[in-house]
Amino acid sequence: MFKRNIEYRFFYFYVNGESTRSGINLPKEKTESKNMAGVPKNRLASETSPYLLQHAENPVDWYPWGEEAFRRAGQEKKPVLLSIGYSACHWCHVMAHESFEDLPIAQLMNSLFISIKVDREEYPDVDHFYQTFVQLTTGRGGWPLTVFLTPEKIPFYGGTYFPSKNRYGMISFPELLHRISDLFQNESEKITRNSQEIRSIFEKMDKPDVSGGIPDDKKTFQNLYRTLEKAFDPIHGGFGPAPKFPHASDLNFLLAYYHYTGTSDAKKMVLQTLQKMAWGGIYDQIGGGFHRYSTDEKWLVPHFEKMLYDNALLASLYADAYRLSGDKIYRNVSQQTADFVLRELNSPDNTFYAALDADSEGEEGKYYLWKHDEILSLLDKDSQKLFCEYYQISEAGNFEGKNIPHVLRPLETISKNYGLSASQAEKKIQDAADILLEKRQSRIQPLLDNKVLLDWNSMMISALWKVCEISGKIRYRQAAEKALNYFLDTHVEASGLVYHFIRNDQRKIDGYIDDYAYLIQALIDGFEGVQDEKYLQFAEKICLYALQNFWDDNAAGFYFTHKDGDIIMIRQKQTFDSSVPSGNNIMTVNLLRLHAYTGNKMFLQRAERIFQVFQKDIESRGIAFSTLVTALLWYAKSPLEITVSIPDNNTTSNFISQVLRTYIPCRVLVRTAGKTVNSIINPELIENRLVRDQETAFICHRGTCSLPLIDADQFISTIQSLNLHIR
């Protein structure tokens, strides 16, 4: 959009000359830190973000995000150089080692600019605003994000990684700095005009059509399904060419679409994708958990960083795939992913850290790679051949002379060649993997980003509820409860305000809508899992606070930031699903669930307003709104209402356990016992449904209720009679 504008094209070519090319694929590089001994620490030394602390000894005069840097820029009449990244980002490390640790380049930055370093995970609002600018002006984005601003915070040029010397067909970073400084000092009038255009375009982007109606659900569902079907890779699973990302939002939609329509190809696309991912190098075959994405179409060679949010979303998704299919591969991956998080990302407070770096010892992926001879030296002869055949371990390797363990054939087909049953082979493989994991843990480990973020933690709490439900293992429920109770005690004020991140137990960053959305989701999930109404009461309270302080009264939907928070240029919404579902879209699901549980029609009315405002978007561009389309499924098809009456002397419920093990994506689940006069549960869900002599279930859908059910076969057949597909 900007790039087509004559004024912006002047900036673009003035700065870059003829050396810039878009869509460039940069080669992998080893990152070796330069010796910075004796360099005094800069302002970032007092921060707590691991990413900012990585730059605390740079010779760059870095500022953290805040007004002090912009005041100085205004006083000295200098542009601001904003650098945004995160601790697990490989190319952030490359640019840091090449440029920010280089004394001549740092001196150039210090003389010409006021430089600010931002951790995108601490300030996602800052990252989103400037990332949007760079994507609009260059057609691509990512990290490290490098943006040049006026002292008024308005961007006028940006990009991602810039090399320290001219290569890859790109301008060098030092040359870029000279050109940007010259542009700022000598073309101020053009920058001012361009700034006005930028503001105008951002304002137009954030003004959706308020005249829409409820989307045509059949059209919307079919359009998104056909888009995904067209992009599906029938050989390797997933969508589109390399690089491949998990696309959890799209896969969740397909599962729900199958549940309501019985479209077998929707189910097939999900299960095939999840199986191929579980067999590939994107999944850590030795230690469990997922790397961020695959650089190839086969899911073999990952970008090796491990993010909490990816593992939370995928643990949940695999749990649902197990509920739907009954295939233990999905249950095992779900559990192993949760086990990885509990083992390697668990904090002393029983919360969860943000990420593990892609690099160790200056090389991406080194921690996870294996030489053939090393594996042979660790395993006994009885296990060597089986392990190497199953995980495709060879002398030549499959990645720079080393091996990324991955699977091409089911273990059952290989075990026969060794005279073993499937269970015997599985035990041998697991014992061998345990040996390799112990050995791997003695290596120099990737950097741990020990930030504790409320939104990502809430995603993981939701995942742990699900893993407990499919496995029956109490440790997952206990981990979810400990983490959730910690956040309710420390990150939630009596008013309902929540905190995104707390530094040193004192400095607090207010929550964004994603924090509210995912915490509410985790609370409702927890209520369904353990039927403790405290969680539902917190969910209602926090949702009401979000509606009061984030809701757009002029149109609809939730702004990303609090009404009293800092605004860069305009107050934005984040409506598209990205690597995580949009908080705005998750909030729509939350509103529908809270309406179903409490009977409060205001929640339903707000959800309907969101559908109306985004009608045209989700009907025509559903691929960017998969979570919102899934919410529309809930709205259009109505949830399955399940009420279970349990005799007073029963502490467990067979019916509730069965519901939790069954794939029912849109459900309301309550038990009649233990409700008080202060209960917020919709009375229609529990009135006249108390049976004291035996456990009984009641199923209602779209105003029609079943007879009381007392056995499991009746329960399943009743659901199936409603034309809902649970297997």
Per-residue pLDDT of 548-593, as tens digits, reads 999 999 889 999 999 998 888 888 898 999 999 999 999 999 999 9
Q: Which of 185, 184, 162, 188 is nearest to 175 (CA)?
A: 162
Distances (CA, A) of 421 to 95, 275, 415, 416: 51, 22, 6, 7
pLDDT at 11 over 70: no
At residue 206 the predicted structure's pLDDT band, cuts being 50, 70 and 90, is low
**Distance, CA of 146 to CA of 150 (rounded, Å):** 14
Residue-wise pLDDT tens digits, 477-531:
999 999 999 999 999 999 999 999 987 776 789 999 999 999 999 999 999 999 9
pLDDT for 39: 59
On average, the pLDDT of the chain sits at 91
Find out whether 208 and 557 touch, Cβ atoms under 8 Å: yes
In what helix (H) or strand (E) does residue 654 lie, and over which residues does it extend?
A: helix 654-661
Q: At which residue do the structure tokens 């791997």 appear?
A: 440
Whether the pTM exceeds 0.75: the reply is yes
pLDDT in tens, 29-77: 444 444 444 557 899 999 989 999 999 999 999 999 999 999 999 999 9
pLDDT band with cut points at 50, 70 and 90 for residue 458: very high
Distances (CA, A) of 643 to 153, 596, 678, 696: 54, 12, 19, 8
**The token pair that represents 727 in the structure block:** 């297997």
For residue 9, the model assigns a pLDDT of 37
Task: Using pLDDT thresholds of 50, 70 and 90, give the confidence band for residue 8.
Answer: very low
pLDDT at residue 723 is higher than 90: no
Residue with tokens 């409702």: 524
Domains of the chain: 6-205 (3.40.30.10), 217-360+449-637 (1.50.10.10), 366-445 (no CATH), 640-721 (3.40.30)
The predicted pLDDT at position 35 comes to 43
Q: Which two tokens stand for residue 483?
A: 């983490």
Determine if residue 496 is left, alpha or beta; phi over 0 gives left, psi from -120 to 50 gives alpha, anything else beta.
left
Cβ atoms of 454 and 487 closer than 8 Å: yes
Average pLDDT over residues 681-703: 87
pLDDT band at 208 (very low <50, low <70, confident <90, very high): low
Q: How far apart are CA 403 and CA 373, in angstroms?
A: 11
Helix, coil or strand: residue 469: helix
On the question of a cis peptide bond just before residue 243, with omega within 30 degrees of 0, the verdict is yes
Does residue 504 or residue 163 have the better pLDDT? Answer: 163
Rounded Cα–Cα distance for residues 84 and 445 (Å):
24
* Proportion of the chain above pLDDT 90, given as a percent: 76
Identify the band that residue 415 occupies on the pLDDT scale cut at 50, 70 and 90: very high
Distance CA 432, CA 441 (A): 14
Residue 427 clears pLDDT 90, i.e. is over it: yes
Higher-confidence residue: 287 or 35? Answer: 287
Q: Let me know: does 352 contact 346? Beta carbons within 8 Å.
A: yes
CB 244 within 8 A of CB 238: yes
User: Average pLDDT for residues 295-311, to the nearest whole number?
Assistant: 97
Contact yes or no for 524/535 (Cβ under 8 A)? yes
Contact call for residues 60 and 110 (beta carbons, < 8 A): yes
pLDDT at 31: 43
For residue 450, the surrounding DSSP H or E stretch is none
SS3 state at 449: strand
pLDDT for position 4: 36
Helices (H), 113-233: 124-138, 173-186, 188-205, 217-231
According to the model, what pLDDT value does residue 692 have?
Answer: 73
Complete DSSP assignment for 357-423: -SEETTEETGGG-B-HHHHHHHS-HHHHHHHHHHTT--SS-SBTTBB----SS-HHHHHGGGT--HH
* 513 in Cβ contact with 124 (< 8 Å): no
Is residue 516 within 8 Å of 546, Cβ to Cβ?
Answer: yes
User: Distance between the two ends of the chain, CA-based, in angstroms?
Assistant: 46
Residue 107, pLDDT score? 97
Contact criterion met (CB below 8 Å) for 270 and 252: no
| Coil/strand/helix, residue 82 | strand
Judge whether 129 and 136 are in contact, CB under 8 Å.
no
Dist CA 248 CA 232 (whole Å): 14
- Using only C-alpha atoms, what is the Rg of the chain? 27
User: How would residue 687 be classed by pLDDT, with cut points 50, 70 and 90?
Assistant: confident
Per cent of the chain over pLDDT 70 is: 93
Contact 628, 588 (CB under 8 A): yes
Crossing angle of helices 381-390 and 422-440, rounded to 10°: 90
pLDDT of residue 19: 31
Residue with tokens 């191929």: 276
- Burial code of 24-48, b = ≥16 C-beta within 10 A, e = fewer? eeeeebebeeeeeeeeeebbbeebe
| Per-residue model confidence as pLDDT tens digits over 106-126 | 999 999 999 999 999 999 999
d(CA 693, CA 525): 29
Q: Give the span between the Cα atoms of 57 and 488, in whole angstroms.
A: 36
| pLDDT tens track for 601-653 | 999 999 999 999 999 999 999 999 999 999 999 999 999 999 999 876 666 77
SS3 of residue 549 by DSSP: helix
Tokens 């995904």 found at: 228
Give the CA distances from residue 145 to residues 82, 92, 133, 157, 711, in Å, rounded to whole numbers and listed in that order: 8, 9, 11, 11, 58
For residues 91 and 370, give the distance between their C-alpha atoms in angstroms, rounded to a whole number.
Answer: 23
| C-alpha to C-alpha distance for 87 and 93, rounded to whole angstroms | 8
Q: pLDDT value at position 29?
A: 46
Q: What is the dihedral of CA 381, 383, 387, 389, to 10 degrees?
A: 60
Judge contact between 286 and 437, C-beta under 8 A: yes
Look at the block and give the residue holding tokens 């915070």. 153
Burial 570-590 (b: 16+ CB within 10 A, else e): ebbbbbbbeebbbbbbbbbbb
For residue 77 the two structure tokens come to 């009449």
CA distance 376 to 392: 13
Tell me the residue type at 124: P
